[in-house]
Structures are given as C-alpha cells and as structure tokens.
Amino acid sequence: MAKKYEGVAIGIDLGTTYSCVGVWQEQNDRVEIIHNDQGNKTTPSCVAFTNSQRLIGDAAKNQASSNPINTVFDAKRLIGRKYSDSFVQNDLLLWPFKVISGVNDKPTILVNYKGEEKHFVAEEISSVILSQMREIAEAFLESPVKNAVITVPAYFNDSQQRSTKDAGEIAGLNVMRIINEPTAAALAYGLQKRANWLIREIFLSLTLAVFDVKATAGDTYLGGEDFDNRMVNYFVKEFKRKNNEDISRNPEALRRLRTACEKAKRTLSYDTEATIDLDALYQGIDFCSCITRAKFEQLNMDLFEKCMDTVNCCLVDAKMDKGSVDDVVLVGGSSRIPKVRQLLQEFFKGKELCKSINPDEAVAYGAAVQAALLSEDNKNVPNMVLRDVTPLSLGIFIHGNIMSVVIPWNTSVPFKKTQVYSTGEDNISSVQINVYEGERIIASENNLLGLFYLKVPLAPRRLPFTVCFAIDANGLLNVSATEETSGSKNEITITIENGRLSREEIERMIQEADNFKAQDMKFRKKVEARNALEYYLYNVRKVMKDDCVNSKLAPVDKMNINSAMIKGKSLIDNNQQEDAFVFVDFLKELESIFESSMNKINQG
C-alpha cells in the first residue's frame, strides 16, 4: 500500500523546454492545469541572471537574445550526468552559456550575477524552476504547497532521478514520488477507462482500475530541442554560404536564431512554410530565409525514424501486435509535428490518434492525478493502481564475472523473488554481493547498482545462502542476503524509482547484448569449464590430503596426480583468456589420471 501524505499535493512536469503544474480539484473531480502570471499554462524552463535580478520563465526567455551567456536553459539535459558524457559535450557546442567540469566531473554552469561570477549545478537551476511551479500553484490555491509528484523521462537513470529529487528538495518540496512522463500521461488518459494504450514511450493495459505497464521504451535525449538544433545548424550554414561569415561562435546571434527556429517549427505544424526574418543578426547583416515543411522533415527524418523504432521496440517487448492497441495517445509538444503523426498513423494502419487532452498538459495532468492518489486530503480521486515494469534484468555477480539474473527484464513491479547461491571459497568470513542491471552475460559489462557484504561462518566452499530481490510500488529496490545456519543477514536499498539507465544506455546495452551474444556465450562456457576444473581440483586436493589414500597410492600414481594438479592450477591462474575446450580437455585428462589411480586402490 502506497504511503499517504498530509496536505495539498501538486503534479509537476519538469520539462526540458517548458514546465507545467497541475492539481486535483475535489469540487470538480478533475485536474486543473494552472496558468502562470502571464496567463500561460506552460512556463519556459529558463532562468536568467542580470546585474540586478534573477528572472524565471517567460521573463527569462524574453530577454535571452540580449543576455544569452547568462540565460540558462536545457538544465534537464545536464541533470545527473557527467561533464565528460558525450551527449553533454555535443550540447556544449550549441549553448551560448558556459559549462565547465566541476567537482567529480559534475557539469557546472558559469554566469555573471550582480557583477560576480556564480557557479550553479543543474539541480540548482532545476530547483529554481520547480520553485516557480510551486509559487504558481500557491497563488492559484491561496495556500502553501509542500507535496509534489515530479515527472522524468522514461529511463532516467538512478543518478538523474536522485538529482531531480534533490532539485525538488532544494525548492522546498516534499517529493512524494518520481514517475515517468509516459506513465503520468497514461494516468491522465486512464480517467477515460479504456483498455489498451500506446503512449509515446510506454505500453499499458488497464483492467478495471489497475494499470499494468507491459513494456517501456524511450529516449531521454530526444525531444523538441533536437529538432530546433537541426534547423539552427541548417541556417548557420546558409548564413555562412550567403555572407561568408560564421555565426556559430556568437552567442547573441545563435540565441536569436534559435528563438526564430523554435517559432518556425511551431508554424510548420499548421502551415507548409515558415519564414526566418532577423534584422542585423551578425555584424549588421540582416538575415531573411524560409524553410518548407518538406525541408524540415528531410532535416529530421532520422530522428522521426528513431521515434518509430522506439514504438516498435515497445510493442515487441510487450509481446503485443499493433491490432491490440485501442488508442494511440500523443504526449508532448513535438507530437504536433505532422510527420510524427503521419508516421504513427501509418504504423498503426490508419488508426485515428487520440487527442482529447492537450499534449503539453497531459504529463502534468497525470502527475497531479498521482499526487492526489498519494494525498490524504483528496477523497474523490478515482481508485487507480499503477503497476510498472523493470526495463532491464536485475541480478548479482557470481564467480567468474558472470551475471546471474534474478529478475528478468519487463517483470511487473512490485515483485519479490529469492534465489539460492553458495560460497566459492573455503573458510571465508564474508561474501561480497554486487547488484547489477543489464543484459550482458559478463557482469562487469552491465551497470553496477550497489554492493554489500554478508557475514558467513567459516566453512568449506558451497555453503548456501539466499539472495532476495524486492521492488516496492515506489520503485525502491531492496536486495537482501541471508545465511540460515548462523542467521546472518544484510541488505541494501537502491533508489531506482521506476527507471535507472537512460534510453541511450538501455539501447546500447540491449544492442551490445545482441551483438556480443556469441562472444558472451563463449565467455560463459569458458568460465563454466574453468570453474568445473577448479572444483574438481579442489575435490582431488581434499582426497589427496587423506592419509589412508596416500598410503595406498603407488609413488608413480601419486607423482602423476600431483603433477596434473600443479599443471591444472597453473592453467587456471595464468590462462584466463583460454577457450573453454582447453579447460574441458584438461579436466578429462585429470579425471582419467585420478580415476585410474583410484581404481587401482579399489582393485588392490
């Protein structure tokens, strides 16, 4: 049962470009998307710093062209990432503000505020935007707000999720839950009580009031900004071609061009042509050009196809066909792009797309529903239960660098599953348990979530112990281990909250798992063969320590066995890269020598 919280609770869609806030209105039994002081229901996720003040939202965006190096946007693309991340490095080329590597390779934004250089991390910028969302809600409700559900893209990894939660806490919010954006949109559409949906990145099934997430797929680094970037690059090249001037290093010119490109993109959603007209864009040179919808689609076709690959991947993972989808729901501003709609309609063989909720507001709408479900103050919220899935397999490291899967990917959440393992060495006092997620057989190639130690009594190897994986409704992963004879127990709780790795990392892992399948199987066979040889040597060594056996063995047999044991140990210690057949062949040789010698004793 999910924990209930006292007080008013709001739902916040913390977007890369725009943010939105909603609240459940008990008197109307519906969600109210709250407008800001400009009368808009979405607020730019933008923060600007000047010599006299800090500006947020529309005010920050409106002065961006004249103050580009101190106007910060896209903070969500930095949150929870490392400065050295390739995606961050690519974005640095497009941002007019300065980002440097800070402590522990954390991206740090440099701005000039009130005449001084200030350093901010992405969490601080995001917290400013969240504070603004809270203030918008408080002005509407005329009462303080502390509780909130905040949405993140599907596959935000643990670091990104925790950083988002940190941003909420910096903003003075009690973050009740972090949920995926497509999941939030599903809750919004869930009020319509339909059976199956495909909602941009996520496939759901609804039976009565229970949501089962069948599969997740998405891309945390693909959105409206990427389409804008393609247009910006296109016009930068055109300006250089026409005027022999490069504006790519000029922050003011780039900011003005980006703003114009964003407007042009919106225009192309309802018109076939858009005009870019900027006076004195660079060194007094005016720039006037136009772009057709066809050209825009050509510039972004690979991104559109990437979207469709995600949709197909989601259906495959859910083991569903296109005909099983009742409604295709559009979420996010980019879903207004005609080509996106066309490709979706073609993919689903002409099915009409569901547009009953504003795509800009759907995520905040669902977040507000989830917030109301978690709040004690709301009594008339439809009784809905959300069951998510794990996007990757979960398991532990076992001897030989093998990932032993306990929970296969796309397992419904919440869940609890136990598995029995055994120690790999004699007389050890503790076992290190490394928790991984991923699809590679080689454990070190997967994502390490955490580790802990289990104390065990001194005993010969093969002492059994139990490992239990459990994820609750809040997305908290708890891994515990127990050794029954001593009663020893230890555990670790990992805050993964409905998602761990970014979609790029998920896709990379799944692709690598497929590409390296043969190589991984070869590795597994080698490890299994080496382990089998090592265990056989262990048993032979125990037998050879028996004085009774030693006294009966002929000297030549004893010499042959000892020589084979030395050779076997050397093979294990010094030939880690050998193929499986080397260990298999030597095991057969060792078995032959040892069993032949034992047979002589038995016959004699």
Look up residue 268 and give its two tokens: 């192309």
pLDDT confidence band for 138 (50 / 70 / 90)? very high
Lowest mean pLDDT among 72-76, 111-115, 167-171, 320-324: 320-324
pLDDT at 220 over 80: no
pLDDT confidence band for 33 (50 / 70 / 90)? very high
pLDDT at 362 over 80: yes
Element counts in the chain: helices (H) and strands (E): 15, 28
Q: Residue 201 has what pLDDT? A: 47
DSSP percent split of the chain into helix, strand, coil, nearest 5: 40, 30, 30
Long-range contacts of the stretch 485-488 (C-beta < 8 A, 24+): 485/457, 486/455, 486/456, 486/457, 488/454, 488/455, 488/456, 488/457
Tens digits of residue pLDDT in 78-107: 888 889 988 888 888 888 899 999 888 889
Tens digits of residue pLDDT in 575-596: 655 577 788 888 888 888 888 8
Q: Where are the domains of the chain?
A: 9-214+357-387, 224-298, 392-501, 504-603
Chain centroid, CA 437 distance in Å: 11
Average pLDDT over residues 318-337: 78
pLDDT at 392 over 90: no
Cβ atoms of 382 and 208 closer than 8 Å = no
Look up residue 271 and give its two tokens: 């018109």
Lowest mean pLDDT among 144-148, 219-223, 424-428: 219-223
Cβ atoms of 503 and 217 closer than 8 Å = yes
Chain centroid, CA 422 distance in Å: 32
Residues of the chain above pLDDT 70, percent: 85
CATH match for 224-298 among 3.40.50.800, 3.10.450.50, 3.90.640.10, 2.40.128.20:
3.90.640.10
Q: Residue 309 has what pLDDT? A: 82
pLDDT confidence band for 331 (50 / 70 / 90)? confident
Average pLDDT over residues 338-364: 84
pLDDT at 179 over 70: yes
Average pLDDT over residues 425-442: 88
Average pLDDT over residues 265-278: 90
Q: Residue 206 has what pLDDT? A: 43
Long-range contacts of the stretch 107-110 (C-beta < 8 A, 24+): 107/78, 107/81, 107/82, 107/83, 108/83, 109/72, 109/75, 109/78
Q: At what angle do helices 362-373 and 181-190 cross, to 10 degrees?
A: 80
pLDDT confidence band for 207 (50 / 70 / 90)? very low
Average pLDDT over residues 271-292: 91
For the domain covering 9-214+357-387, report its CATH number: 3.30.420.40
> pTM for this structure?
0.63
pLDDT confidence band for 386 (50 / 70 / 90)? low
Chain centroid, CA 462 distance in Å: 36
Average pLDDT over residues 508-531: 66
Q: Residue 205 has what pLDDT? A: 46
Cβ atoms of 276 and 265 closer than 8 Å = no
**Which three-class secondary structure state does DSSP give residue 445?**
helix
pLDDT at 65 over 90: no
For the domain covering 504-603, report its CATH number: 1.20.1270.10
pLDDT at 213 over 90: no
Q: Residue 44 has what pLDDT? A: 92
- Pick 196 or 317 by higher pLDDT: 317
Query: d(Cα 99, Cα 120) in Å, to the nearest integer?
Result: 9
Residue 378: other Cβ atoms inside 10 A: 19
Q: Residue 5 has what pLDDT? A: 75
Q: Residue 29 has what pLDDT? A: 78
Q: Residue 601 has what pLDDT? A: 76
pLDDT confidence band for 155 (50 / 70 / 90)? low
**Beta bridge partners of residue 50, listed in sequence order:** none
Helices (H), 480-579: 503-515, 517-544, 547-552, 555-574
Phi, psi of 468 (to 5 degrees): -120, 125
Nearest to 549 by CA among 598, 596, 604, 599: 598
Cβ atoms of 256 and 231 closer than 8 Å = no
Average pLDDT over residues 129-157: 89
pLDDT at 1 over 50: no
Please state whether the peptide bond connecting residue 555 to the residue before it is cis, i.e. omega within 30 degrees of 0.
no
Q: Residue 158 has what pLDDT? A: 60
Q: Residue 303 has what pLDDT? A: 87
Average pLDDT over residues 513-532: 70
Q: Does domain 392-501 have CATH number 3.90.1150.10?
A: no
pLDDT confidence band for 294 (50 / 70 / 90)? very high
